[in-house]
């Protein structure tokens, strides 16, 4: 078998890249380890930057998002018993974010791929990239007991943090930067109206909390928890008591509670691999970098990586120029590191660390208070939150 681009992984990175390539007439095959149902069962963040929504439109997969997504012009930060609004729209000269779950993005991209005849092999086992330091790379995989080989021009490693692409690179050729945080996020989804019209990020001496949503009738809430905690330690009642304790009293009183329909714990990590290109293999999205969810940047960084890589591939096939692909790693990393810094800063400013103590709490509150009394500081926050240009 032969194709132009083999894409490993059918998360948002792989699906978005695949769709842009297919629309442009560039042949590609996606190899995915899991089943389609399994990929669609994953629940992740839900804040899309305008660059991301524009790419979904460009891929022809933005229609339902435009219909059902919730455009937000701002969000709130709560600390020291009060709520303050960050006016994203006003501070950035008219930019906003779109609230639309990553699960829905994945769904829409899968539907579009099916409608346009894109090839995806689900439950592909032992996927392995080969020969990417030569002109003739290929990928092997197993399916239903048989081994297959696909020859290609390029391999896009869109297989997430635990994928095989990054692991296939010799250790001496790659440098890894990493920080693990000493806490996790316990997240729930409940069929209750969200407590506010917009998101609320809360700093509290008991720990961080986040009030998000999926629609006007479905809420997505998080509390910072211990890494030792198990989901079973957290009854719904305990969750609701804890999140209310971390919010200003007036907000806690307005909160509608109800049974959770999903509950899970995720660790927080910052991670970057350098470079993101190894000959004819490219790392894209979570395969190359991870951010803690506090700034909601994970999916958006995947989209900007896809932008740079797709533009490079298009240029290669249209003009036989490798300039765009040669610039991929450097361009993508420049944006990745700024989002890493922002996500680290949001995480550091809003969470309780083992060393925070009474002094650290006061410093966090002073920083947040400064933010709301300085237009320069709020503008810096807003322009990072809506997404830096690319």
Interface with ligand PHB, residue 220, by CB under 6 A = yes
Helix, coil or strand: residue 122 = coil
User: To which H or E segment does residue 281 belong?
Assistant: strand 281-283
Structure tokens at 159: 């297989």
Interface with ligand APR, residue 31, by CB under 6 A = yes
Among 19, 212, 251, 378, contact with ligand PHB (rule: CB under 6 A): 212
Asked if residue 199 lies in contact with residue 212, where contact means CB atoms within 8 angstroms, the answer is yes
- Least gap, CB of 300 to ligand APR (angstroms): 8
Q: What is the CA radius of gyration of the chain?
A: 21
Residues numbered 254 to 313 that lie near ligand APR (CB under 6 A) are 285-287, 298-299, 302
Site of tokens 């002094």:
359
Catalytic residue among 72, 107, 167, 263: 72
Helix, coil or strand: residue 165 = coil
The Cα 242–Cα 206 span in angstroms is 9
- Least gap, CB of 162 to ligand PHB (angstroms): 20
Prior bond to 275 cis, omega within 30?
yes
Q: Which of 201, 198, 196 is nearest to 79 (CA)?
A: 201
Among 20, 33, 73, 349, contact with ligand APR (rule: CB under 6 A): 33
Interface with ligand APR, residue 163, by CB under 6 A = yes
Asked if residue 258 lies in contact with residue 114, where contact means CB atoms within 8 angstroms, the answer is no
Active site residue 201: yes
Structure tokens at 313: 């591939």
Catalytic residue among 100, 138, 328, 385: 385
Which option in ligand PHB, ligand APR, none does residue 164 bind, with CB closer than 5 to 8 A by kind? ligand APR
Site of tokens 């809360």:
202
- Least gap, CB of 141 to ligand PHB (angstroms): 32
- Find the length of the chain: 390
Which option in ligand APR, ligand PHB, none does residue 149 bind, with CB closer than 5 to 8 A by kind? none
Residues that bind ligand APR (CB under 6 A): 8-14, 31-34, 39, 44-45, 102, 124, 127, 158-160, 162-164, 285-287, 298-299, 302
- Residues annotated as catalytic are 72, 201, 293, 297, 385
Residues that bind ligand PHB (CB under 6 A): 45-47, 199, 210, 212, 220, 293-294, 296
């Amino acid at each position: 078998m032969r194709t132009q681009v083999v894409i490993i992984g059918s998360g948002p990175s792989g699906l978005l890249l695949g769709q842009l390539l297919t629309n442009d007439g560039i042949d590609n095959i996606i190899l995915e380890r899991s089943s389609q149902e399994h990929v669609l069962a994953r629940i992740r963040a839900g804040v899309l930057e305008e660059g991301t929504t524009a790419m979904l439109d460009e891929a022809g997969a933005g229609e339902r998002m435009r219909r059902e997504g919730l455009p937000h012009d701002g969000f709130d930060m709560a600390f020291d018993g009060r709520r303050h609004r960050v006016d994203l729209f006003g501070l950035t000269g008219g930019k906003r974010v779109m609230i639309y779950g990553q699960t829905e993005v994945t769904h829409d991209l899968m539907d579009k791929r099916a409608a346009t005849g894109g090839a995806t092999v689900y439950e592909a086992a032992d996927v392995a990239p080969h020969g990417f330091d030569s002109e003739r790379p290929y990928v092997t995989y197993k399916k239903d007991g048989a081994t297959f080989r696909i020859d290609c021009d390029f391999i896009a490693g869109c297989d997430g943090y635990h994928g095989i692409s990054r692991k296939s690179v010799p250790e001496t050729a790659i440098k890894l930067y990493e920080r693990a945080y000493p806490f996790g996020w316990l997240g729930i989804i409940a069929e209750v109206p969200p407590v506010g019209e917009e998101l609320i990020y809360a700093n509290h001496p008991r720990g961080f909390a986040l009030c998000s949503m999926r629609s006007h009738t479905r809420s997505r809430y998080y509390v910072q928890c211990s890494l030792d905690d198990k989901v079973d330690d957290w009854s719904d009642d305990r969750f609701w008591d804890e999140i209310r304790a971390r919010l200003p009293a007036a907000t806690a009183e307005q909160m509608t509670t109800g049974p959770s329909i999903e509950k899970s714990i995720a660790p927080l990590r910052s991670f970057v691999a350098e470079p993101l290109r190894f000959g004819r293999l490219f790392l894209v999205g979570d395969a190359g970098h991870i951010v803690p969810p506090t700034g909601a940047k994970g999916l958006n960084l995947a989209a900007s990586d896809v932008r740079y890589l797709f533009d490079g591939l298009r240029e290669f096939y249209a003009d036989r120029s490798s300039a765009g692909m040669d610039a991929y790693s450097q361009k993508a990393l420049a944006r990745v590191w700024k989002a890493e810094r922002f996500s680290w800063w949001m995480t550091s400013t809003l969470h309780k660390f083992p060393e925070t103590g009474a002094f650290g709490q006061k410093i966090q509150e002073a920083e947040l208070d400064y933010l709301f009394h300085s237009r320069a500081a709020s503008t810096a926050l807003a322009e990072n939150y809506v997404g830096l240009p690319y």
